[in-house]
Structure 1
Amino acid sequence: MALSNPRHPYAAVGETPSARTGPRTTLGEHLRGQVRRLCEAAGLAVPTDGSALPLLDLLDLLGPAAHRPLGAGPPSPSFVCDDHSPAELSLALGAATPVAVRLLVEPGCTATTLEENGRIGRRALAALAARRGFSTEPVRRVEDLFFPPVMHGSFALWCAMEQRPGPNSPAGVKVYVDPRAHGRERSGEVAEEALARFGFARAWPALRERATRRGPGRDEILFFALDLGDWHIPRVKVYVAHHDVTAPQAQDVARLLPGEAADRVREFCRAVGGDPGRFAHRPLVSCLSYTGRDLERPGGHTLHVPVRDYAPHDGVARDRATAALRRLGTDAGVVDRALAAMTSRQPADGVGLITYVSLVQSTWQPPRVNVYFSPEAYAARPPRTAEPGPGGVR
């Protein structure tokens, strides 16, 4: 999922990168093309008219933003991507599972306040639920926690969908909300209460001890996420950003999972992040997922590495992603196909198209790697010619 950080604002803006688009192209047209090409790159069947792609339903959630020309700029300073594109695409890849394509959007991206953003987002989610036949009860259960009358934080609601292989495969829906809605200082309290409402009250002490032990200024609770609709094992997830962290410290969070998960995390964050010693720029992010199988400990852990802050250009980011996939024994060539689907520019000509590379581990399935892509609808950052200075990218 999207994991930008407001401490690191977008800089060094270049031209819209793809020759496939121009200033008169709308955001919806830009994203529709990328979704279809990415699905084709991943080996998913795509009808000529795209009618059987549930992912395209999400573009309707963007409302008037979908019809806005790219030349008019982003509809708001969205927290989803660095260039303020209110959408993000990703691939989920594993040796034992087919490739899945995901799309995330911010339905309320045209709003001028977080409160309005949240109202638009919930209306759009309800419309999607009516169309696809799933319940939004889990979101309503925690509305008071994440949509107070006066909202704080960086966003209100994001909605994502996962397209799985097969003509009759159901699409899973995910919703992301901000635990900082009542203020950053209350994010832990909000996350704890939200977990309790889904039956995971006993999970909070271990999460607090392992994932947030350095305090809210350095281990920051970032997102709360819910699986809606048709999931084999629906999850409740908590995301924690680890500022100025080392690989061993990130590894320690993964010890909440049994077995070799922690050892893989240490190797992964060094390989994908370029082994900087301390990840002092954009933070690493841990995601802890909870299911009804265990009410006290997470059944899944994901480490998100913001490769765009630790690689000079997307060519290096691609090489690190493909190396991680080869170690899992899965198809590494899909990353090159995905890059060609997303943009016509060369990987070495910019940095930030590949935003995150993530290691996903759970107690019920083999590890997989997720690769996240920015639509670069509005701008592309030029390649980095020097190491970023403290506090962010150059």
Structure 2
Amino acid sequence: MEQSVRTARMLRALLPPWAHERIEATPAEPSYVADDGFPAEMSVNWSGRHPELRILFDSLGHDVAPPGESGSRILDRVHETFTPRGGRPSPAPLWHSIAWRPPSGVVHKTYFGLYPWPHAQREAAVAEAMARLGMADAWETTRRQVETVEGAREIEFFAVDLADEAQARVKIYYRNHDAGLTEVNRVASVALRHDAEDARAAYQTLAGDREDAGEAALSCLAFRSGPDRAAESTTYLRLPDLASGDEEAVERTAALLHREGVDPGRFRLLTAALAPGPLSETNILELVSYRTAGRRGDVTTYFRFPVYDRSLTPVDLA
């Protein structure tokens, strides 16, 4: 109980000012985070001895100060690129993430949402930011390889780890349109560390008997200082589209965790505790991601909560 209280206090201290505002019937400012407009999601990564808790939130225009000098330096090098001062049509929406895997400290990440801009502006901003970080060649090589994969996709986010530059990752997210499992696997295979056979089996476990990747599957390519192209890749599948509801989604995710050598018991308990009703009637397990980067069980489950009436606050995810 004491640990729970300490954790809650720590998280409250890290959240933006809007976290203390009363939740009304509709959002004062609908967010792109969730399709009902709520500006936050919770996720858990199940690899390793201890799960990692993550909270992602939309800053909604509030300043979120990066922790420590290393994080500040990285953010300072690219921040202007995503603003009108850098030639963009508007400031990029800013999201922030905090990740905590006890007994380690909290890890911070910042995301620039590129989705409001024309595609040419997104591509220009990413190219400039990667050049500022000394990763222009790695990005150009990766971009060209992604463009050889059939299908339609668009760059949607640019993200940086707010950590020591030697450890920090830079991540570029693609949203895929009408993609098949084979297609998203080919995008992921652009990365240096990706096991296509293992990934295909994981995707199929989540997709059931379908060959498509469902609605708007995401592909994240992560860059580190040194490699000549993306070092790692993560694929995100949207479970409400691929499964009939949380009951089926939980069973498929539990099967994937078991295959990866992770006891799914804690995942089942967590989902049951978070669901507002019977799993047969809910859809809170929004995304499940899978990464093959040298460690087993690299599965992350993303929960989005039914806060607002979606018919009143639709958010365009196209």
TM-score in terms of structure 2 length: 0.87
Aligned to 2:5: 49
Q: What SS class does the counterpart of residue 255 from structure 2 fall into?
A: helix
3-state secondary structure, aligned to 1:312: coil
Q: Whole-Å Cα distance in 1 between the matches of residues 263 and 76 of structure 2?
A: 40
Work out which of the residue numbers 346, 350, 355 in structure 1 matches 2:286.
Answer: 355
Structure 2 regions of 5+ residues with no counterpart?
Answer: none
SS of equivalent residue, structure 1 residue 316: helix
1:288 and 2:244 are equivalent in the alignment:
no
Q: CA deviation at 1:53?
A: 5.4
Q: Give the Cα separation in 2 of the matches to 1:231 and 1:204.
A: 17
Distance 1:323 1:231, change over 3 A: farther
Q: Is the 8 A contact 2:194 2:292 kept in 1?
A: no
Specify whether residues 48 and 91 from structure 1 end up closer, same or farther in structure 2 by C-alpha distance, changes over 3 A only: closer
Deviation at 1:58, TM superposition (A): 3.1
For residue 50 of structure 2, give the secondary structure of its aligned residue in structure 1.
strand
Q: How far does residue 241 in structure 1 lie from its aligned partner after superposition?
A: 1.2
| Paired amino acid for 1:100 | E
Shift of 1:345: 1.1
- Which whole-Å deviations, capped at 9, do the CAs of 1:119-173 have from their partners, x for residues lacking one? x2xx2x22x63xx67632222211232122686589610000001112xx21000
Q: After superposition, where does 1:57-96 map in structure 2 within 5 Å? A: 57-59=13-15, 61=16, 63-64=17-18, 66-69=20-23, 71-94=24-47, 96=48
Aligned partners of 1:287 and 1:301 also within 8 Å:
yes
Please list the CA deviations of residues 261-302 of structure 1 after superposition, one character each: whole Å capped at 9, or x if unmatched: 1112222222212343334x52211111111242x1222110
Cα RMSD over matched residues?
3.0
Aligned equivalents of 1:163 and 1:343: distance in 2?
Answer: 22
**Structure 2 residue aligned with 1:162:** 99
Corresponding residue for residue 139 of structure 1: 75
- Aligned partner (choices 189, 193, 208) of residue 124 of structure 2: 189
* Number of the residue aligned with 1:371: 301
**SS where residue 263 of structure 2 aligns?**
coil
Distance 1:135 1:256 in 2: 27
For the 8 Å contact 1:151–1:181, the answer to whether it is kept is: no
Identity %: 27
Q: Which amino acid aligns with 1:283?
A: A
Name the SS for the 2:20 alignment partner.
helix
Alignment of 1:290-329 (within 5 A): 290-294=223-227, 296-329=228-261
Select the residue among 92, 102, 108 that pairs with 2:54: 102
**How far has the Cα of 1:177 moved from its partner?**
0.3
- How far apart are residue 91 of structure 1 and its match? 0.4
Distance 1:218 1:88, change over 3 A: same
Unmatched 5+ stretches in structure 1: 1-44, 109-116, 382-390
Do the aligned partners of residues 354 and 155 (structure 1) sit closer, same or farther apart at CA in structure 2, a change above 3 Å counting? farther
Deviation at 1:342, TM superposition (A): 1.7
Q: Is the 8 Å Cα contact of residues 148 and 181 (structure 1) preserved in structure 2? A: no
Aligned partner of residue 74 in structure 1, secondary structure: coil
AA matched with 1:242:
N
CA contact (8 A) 1:152 1:180 kept: no
Q: Name the SS for the 1:72 alignment partner.
A: coil
- Counterpart residue number, 1:278: 212
1:379/1:318 Cα in 2 relative to 1: closer, same or farther (>3 Å)? farther
Deviation by residue 1:29-55 (Cα, 9 ceiling, x = unmatched): xxxxxxxxxxxxxxxx85353367533
Tell me the TM-score normalised to structure 1 length. 0.71
**Paired residue for 1:199?**
134
**Deviations 1:87-127, CA, capped at 9 Å, x for gaps:** 00000012x4421100011121xxxxxxxx3xx2xx2x22x
Structure 1 Cα separation of the partners of residues 172 and 10 of structure 2: 26
Distance 2:159 2:29 in 1: 23
